[in-house]
């Protein structure tokens, strides 16, 4: 058990940064043996978890098994999955669902049994869900109730963590924008994704890759940053509002049609609309280019209206606002940046190459998703590996090094004035637009070098320290973009979600090879 003296107002046994599924679950489990502080830069709910529609994949059915789930995960992963990590996830997943049930999670049921649906590239119905298509909201609310009911957990919202604090070679805490230092024997990064680096994304505006960047600056290794998943079916309203149209809609029978009303997915994959996300996203882009259209259509009009309203209440209500009835109308959809397979490199218990620093959820990468994530494995990953992080922390019992009165500081250099809001927005929009167009679904050397030159032009931004959150986030996005582009240029093949038009085929020489970056080195292994 960890036992720190607690003489300072911001000293805990475990610090968790982030309030999605991985962060909440880690905090709840760690509070069984430790004093925990959970920090999140915005409101607790403002996460990708809250927006998740589909559900959680787990081999719970009588005709299913962890082995089948593993096969599907590996198949979708494009030959790059860490087999040991996949095995851990699929075998421990059902137990995590049981834990959620014990915490009060009200999964949808049919005749008293858990309702399970099927999504893209799954061979069985194994997706449990809640609230129809509101799994993330229901899950987040359930975990939040447990979080606030636990007196061993301190929650600080609107607390923006900017950097790690290290001492004697160990991460011992974090520094916030307000200048506060939070100290602990173990720091758990669960900050989520980085989708806001792209102009079209399903992610909320808070998804600026802060965790990856602060870990990278502290010396942590990041890996597989070239692999960004683009969700195939996103509805964009005339007002530019975006909503993801869950994979589960296709799992319930929806089909894709081009601008001529023709189905096309049979030409691209044997599973048609239920092919892997990377395949479906590229097929949609191909159809848009061939036909000169701005979108394709998602058609689920063959299903009963009553069923659709009950199964997809969120999607049904949202599209209805724009005069589209899911039961009668085809929805115009496009692909959008959705999930980062890469992140802070970890082992099977979330351990990083920095003593005292752990990572889990989307910010982390242990290779479980390979080059392309299987639908509804993200929430599962968050649960399984958050639990394993906590197991490791409890077992090792990390303590702060040296005297508790020891002062450990970081050289932050001279601060700069905040960028003017108008210029900051303009620069951010320019970055996000060029990343989506040149480093998005389809890539080539010319486009990636164009992005690289743009990033180099603004290199001074990376050398200064902002004084406000928005500028910090912009700086982090520039670092994220650099990490993505560097890896995308280096991997001269197409694999999973990474598609190089100038190298359109997988190269056996790259199979099972990962691109690892740190402030000290850049290597393929």
Residue 273 to residue 279: CA distance in whole angstroms: 10
Task: Return per-residue pLDDT of the chain as tens, 525 residues.
Answer: 333 334 456 999 999 999 999 999 999 999 999 999 999 999 999 999 999 999 999 999 999 999 999 999 999 999 999 999 999 999 999 999 999 999 999 999 999 999 999 998 999 999 999 999 999 999 999 999 999 999 999 999 999 999 999 988 799 999 999 999 999 999 999 999 999 999 999 999 999 999 999 999 999 999 999 999 999 999 988 777 888 999 899 999 999 999 999 999 999 999 999 999 999 999 999 999 999 999 999 999 999 999 999 999 999 999 999 999 999 999 999 999 999 999 999 999 999 999 999 999 999 999 999 999 999 999 999 999 999 999 999 999 766 555 444 444 455 555 665 678 899 999 999 999 999 999 999 999 999 999 999 999 998 877 778 889 999 999 999 999 999 999 999 999 999 999 999 999 999 999 989 999 999 766 566
Q: Which residue has the tokens 């882009």?
A: 285
Question: Where are the CATH 3.50.50.60 domain residues in the chain?
Answer: 11-227+341-396
Residues of the chain with CATH 1.20.58.100: 421-505
* Closest CA relative to residue 20, chosen from 140, 181, 145: 140
Quick one: which of 373, 9, 401, 21 has its CA closest to 188? 21
Q: And the tokens for 217?
A: 């600056």
* Residue numbers annotated as active site: 277
**What pairing do the DSSP bridges indicate for beta strands 161-167 and 331-340?**
unpaired
CA angle 473/516/183 to nearest 5° reads 50
* Strand arrangement of the beta sheet that strand 515-517 belongs to: 364-365, 343-345, 222-223, 515-517, 522-524
- Sheet (strand 127-128) strand order: 56-57, 127-128, 116-117
Is the separation of the CB atoms in 189 and 236 below 8 Å? Answer: no
Here the tokens at position 104 are: 């009060």
Beta pairing class for 331-340 and 296-299: antiparallel
H/E run at residue 72? helix 66-76
230-336 maps to CATH 3.90.700.10: yes
CATH of 11-227+341-396, one of 3.50.50.60, 3.40.190.10, 3.40.50.450, 1.10.150.120: 3.50.50.60
Cβ–Cβ < 8 Å for 322, 360:
no
CA 68 centroid distance within chain: 24
CA distance 218 to 215: 5
Query: Boundaries of CATH 3.90.700.10 in the chain?
Result: 230-336
Residue with tokens 């929430």: 379
pLDDT confidence of residue 195: 98
| CATH architecture of the domain covering 421-505 | Up-down Bundle (1.20)
What's the sign of the alpha-carbon dihedral 355, 359, 365, 368?
Answer: positive
Tokens of 172: 């011992």
Asked if 278 contacts 499 with a C-beta cutoff of 8 angstroms, the reply is yes
Please identify which residue in the block is written with the tokens 């989506």: 436
Of 201, 200, 315, the closest CA to residue 254 belongs to 315
The helix/strand/coil state of 436 is: helix
Cβ 228 vs Cβ 341: under 8 Å: yes
Between CA 172 and CA 186 the distance in angstroms is: 7
Q: Which residues contact 359 (CB under 8 A, 6 or more apart)?
A: 188, 189, 190, 211, 215, 220, 343, 344, 346, 350, 352, 389
At a CB cut-off of 8 Å and minimum separation 6, what does 486 contact? 225, 515, 517, 522
């Amino acid at each position: 058990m960890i036992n720190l003296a607690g003489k300072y107002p911001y000293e805990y046994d475990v610090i968790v940064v982030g309030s999605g599924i991985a962060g909440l679950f880690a905090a709840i489990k760690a509070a069984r043996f430790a004093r925990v502080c959970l920090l999140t830069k915005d409101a607790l709910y403002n996460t990708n978890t809250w927006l998740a529609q589909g559900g959680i994949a787990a081999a719970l059915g009588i005709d299913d098994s962890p082995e089948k789930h593993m096969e599907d995960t590996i198949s979708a992963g494009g030959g790059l999955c860490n087999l040991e990590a996949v095995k851990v996830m699929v075998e421990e997943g059902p137990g995590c669902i049981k834990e959620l049930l014990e915490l009060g999670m009200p999964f949808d049921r049919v005749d008293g049994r858990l309702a399970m649906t099927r999504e893209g590239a799954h061979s069985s119905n194994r997706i449990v869900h809640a609230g129809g298509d509101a799994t993330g909201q229901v899950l987040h609310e359930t975990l939040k109730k447990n979080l606030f009911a636990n007196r061993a957990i301190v929650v600080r919202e609107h607390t923006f963590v900017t950097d790690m604090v290290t001492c004697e070679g160990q991460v011992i805490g974090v520094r916030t924008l307000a200048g506060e230092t939070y100290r602990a024997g173990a720091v758990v990064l669960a900050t989520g994704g980085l989708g806001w680096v792209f102009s079209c994304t399903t992610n909320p505006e808070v998804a600026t890759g802060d965790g990856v960047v602060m870990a990278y600056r502290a010396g942590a290794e990041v890996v597989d940053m070239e692999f960004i998943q683009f969700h195939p079916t996103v509805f964009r309203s005339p007002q530019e509002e975006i909503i993801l149209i869950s994979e589960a809609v296709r799992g319930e029978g929806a089909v894709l049609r081009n601008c001529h009303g023709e189905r096309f997915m049979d030409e691209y994959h044997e599973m048609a609309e239920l092919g892997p996300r990377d395949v479906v996203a590229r097929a949609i882009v191909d159809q848009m280019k061939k036909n000169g259209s701005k979108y394709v259509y998602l058609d689920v009009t063959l299903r009963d209206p009553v069923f659709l309203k009950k199964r997809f209440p969120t999607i049904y209500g949202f599209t209805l606002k724009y005069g589209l009835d899911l039961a009668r109308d085809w929805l115009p959809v496009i692909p959008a940046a959705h999930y980062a397979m890469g992140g802070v490199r970890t082992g099977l218990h979330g351990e990083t190459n920095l003593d005292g620093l752990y990572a889990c959820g989307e910010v982390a990468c242990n290779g479980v998703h390979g080059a392309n994530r299987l639908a509804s494995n993200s929430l599962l990953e968050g649960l399984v590996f958050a639990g394993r992080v906590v197991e490791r922390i409890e077992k090792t019992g990390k303590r702060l090094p040296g005297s508790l009165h020891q002062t450990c500081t970081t050289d932050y250099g001279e601060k700069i004035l905040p960028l003017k809001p108008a210029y900051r927005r303009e620069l951010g929009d320019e970055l996000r637009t060029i990343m989506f167009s040149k480093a998005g679904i389809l890539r080539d050397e010319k486009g990636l070098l164009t992005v690289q030159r743009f990033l180099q032009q603004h290199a001074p931004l990376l050398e200064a320290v902002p004084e406000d959150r928005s500028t910090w986030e912009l700086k982090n996005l520039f670092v994220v973009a650099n990490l993505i582009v560097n890896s995308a240029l280096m991997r001269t093949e197409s694999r999973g979600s990474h598609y190089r038009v100038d190298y359109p085929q997988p190269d056996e020489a790259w199979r099972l090879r990962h691109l690892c970056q740190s402030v000290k080195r850049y290597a393929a292994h």
